[in-house]
């Protein structure tokens, strides 16, 4: 009996030790998703100056990468540049470490395409790495021929979606009293004062002016249809970080009589939209759907869903087909990677007696979108080098 009891005690002890060891072993297993594993990441993403938490352009791309990397069990790395780490340095470090697919969201291409400081182009130095760049097509020579076979340019037809936002802005501004309960807003309703729109961009680069020119052309078309004239107050050197700059600019537009400010400036836009809510007027946001950030004070958001090409191209890379990809990928309104939001959030603020007017606006906007998609409306596309002539705006003056 004593021997049997001892055996049972020993067996229980061994079982307990074994269980603890198994739990410990389980605790030491690698997580399902890590940014690096094995000899290092296969894929990397270099953020633009707005940073990874910009609630839009960078964040959308990162979330797309995280989603598909987890699904496919691929190691990846996210890089934020700084004064100590430039975009060219980041690209060089990643490529030299063996990363095979690099997304670069910053508007900085010279070192990659042409080479700087006497060095060869990075694309030439690292021919086995595929570089994906956004918002421009710098990888062509004077004849329009591709320079490097391992550089893919991703363009979004944000000039088209910005056109829709401009057209919508004028229609809404002309009907503010009919659409909204004025107890909830502080709009300037006098048309002798309020035919003013605002646009604030991070830089004067083609990647930003593609938004502004599309917006102006859409606003001009609506103003021309209605036989009215507008002014646009613009700022194209706001940077991407300081929300106070956005707040100050928005206030200047509202003080001048404007009711709507369109922001394409990363975190600067946070200040614009905060000021819109404080002033009880409207902003237009960009990149992601931010309509519910300040419900009722964001008219719409112009979408640039960077997660779409990120996932598309990583899938091609994993399938071994990225070498066959077109070197220019153009995401149109039909792709749903760009466009404006469904306007559901602002629709909830339309007063009951304004629903008929609102439905008329939506119908006009739908007709304009169909004309854009059908090709009958032509819009300047700055990101591919098309020149914009301000004098072509018959009913808009840019200040």
Q: Is the pLDDT of residue 15 over 90?
A: no
CA distance 206 to 318: 32
Which among 45, 48, 129 has a CA at the least distance from the CA of 310?
A: 45
Dig out the tokens for 252 from the structure: 């200047």
Among the listed ranges 29-43, 245-259, 333-347, which one has the minimum average pLDDT value?
29-43
Looking at residue 41, its pLDDT comes to 85
CB-based contacts of 359: which residues, under 8 Å, 6+ apart? none
Q: Mean pLDDT over all residues of the chain?
A: 90
Looking at residue 375, its pLDDT comes to 94
Per-state percent for the chain, helix, strand, coil, to nearest 5 = 45, 15, 40
Q: Which residue has the tokens 């079982």?
A: 15
158-173 and 355-374 helices cross at what angle (nearest 10)?
150
Q: pLDDT of 124-170, one tens digit each?
A: 999 999 999 998 899 999 998 999 999 999 999 999 999 999 999 99
CB 304 within 8 A of CB 290: no
Q: pLDDT of 271-329, one tens digit each?
A: 999 999 999 999 999 998 999 999 999 999 999 999 999 999 999 999 999 999 999 99
Looking at residue 40, its pLDDT comes to 64
Looking at residue 283, its pLDDT comes to 98
326-362: burial string, b at 16+ Cβ within 10 Å, e else: eeebbbbbebebbbbbebebbeebbeeebeebbeebe
- Give me the helices (H) in 180-302, please: 191-194, 206-226, 243-255, 268-279
- Which of the two residues, 260 and 50, has the higher pLDDT score? 260
Q: Is the pLDDT of residue 13 over 90?
A: no
Looking at residue 385, its pLDDT comes to 85
Model confidence at 49, in pLDDT bands (50, 70, 90)?
confident
Q: What is the rounded average pLDDT of the residues 193-204?
A: 97
Number of Cβ atoms within 10 Å of the Cβ of 127: 11
Q: pLDDT of 333-390, one tens digit each?
A: 988 899 999 999 999 999 999 999 999 999 999 999 999 999 999 999 998 889 999 9
């Amino acid at each position: 009996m004593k021997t049997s009891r001892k055996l049972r005690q020993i067996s229980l002890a061994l079982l307990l030790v074994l269980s603890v060891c198994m739990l410990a072993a389980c605790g030491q297993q690698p997580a399902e998703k890590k940014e690096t594993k094995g000899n290092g990441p296969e894929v990397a993403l270099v953020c633009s100056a707005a940073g990874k938490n910009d609630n839009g352009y960078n964040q959308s791309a990162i979330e797309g990468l995280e989603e598909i990397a987890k699904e496919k069990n691929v190691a990846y790395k996210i890089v934020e540049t700084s004064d100590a780490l430039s975009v060219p340095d980041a690209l060089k470090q990643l490529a030299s470490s063996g990363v095979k697919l690099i997304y670069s969201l910053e508007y900085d291409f010279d070192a990659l395409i042409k080479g700087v400081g006497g060095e060869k182009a990075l694309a030439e130095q690292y021919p086995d790495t595929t570089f994906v760049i956004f918002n421009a097509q710098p990888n062509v020579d004077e004849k329009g021929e591709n320079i490097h076979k391992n550089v893919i340019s991703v363009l979004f037809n944000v000039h088209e979606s910005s056109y829709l936002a401009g057209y919508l802005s004028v229609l809404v501004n002309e009907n503010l009293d009919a659409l909204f309960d004025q107890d909830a807003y502080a709009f300037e309703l006098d048309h002798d004062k309020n035919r003013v729109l605002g646009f604030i961009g991070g830089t004067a680069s083609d990647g930003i002016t593609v938004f502004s020119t599309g917006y102006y052309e859409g606003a001009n078309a609506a103003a021309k249809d209605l036989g009215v004239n507008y002014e646009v107050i613009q700022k194209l050197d706001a940077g991407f970080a300081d929300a106070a700059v956005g707040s100050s600019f928005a206030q200047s537009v509202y003080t001048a009589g404007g009711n709507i400010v369109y922001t394409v400036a990363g975190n600067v836009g946070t200040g614009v939209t905060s000021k819109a809510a404080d002033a009880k007027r409207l902003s237009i946001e960009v990149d992601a759907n931010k309509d519910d950030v300040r419900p009722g004070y964001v008219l719409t958001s112009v979408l640039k869903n960077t997660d779409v090409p990120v996932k598309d191209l990583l899938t091609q890379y994993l399938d071994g087909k990225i070498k066959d990809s077109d070197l220019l990928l153009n995401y149109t309104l039909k792709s749903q990677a760009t466009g404006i939001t469904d306007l559901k959030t602002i629709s909830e603020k339309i007063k009951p007696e304004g629903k008929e007017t609102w439905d008329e606006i939506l119908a006009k906007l739908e007709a304009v979108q169909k004309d854009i998609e059908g090709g009958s409306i032509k819009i300047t596309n700055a990101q591919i080098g098309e020149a914009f002539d301000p004098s072509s705006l018959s009913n808009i003056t840019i200040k």
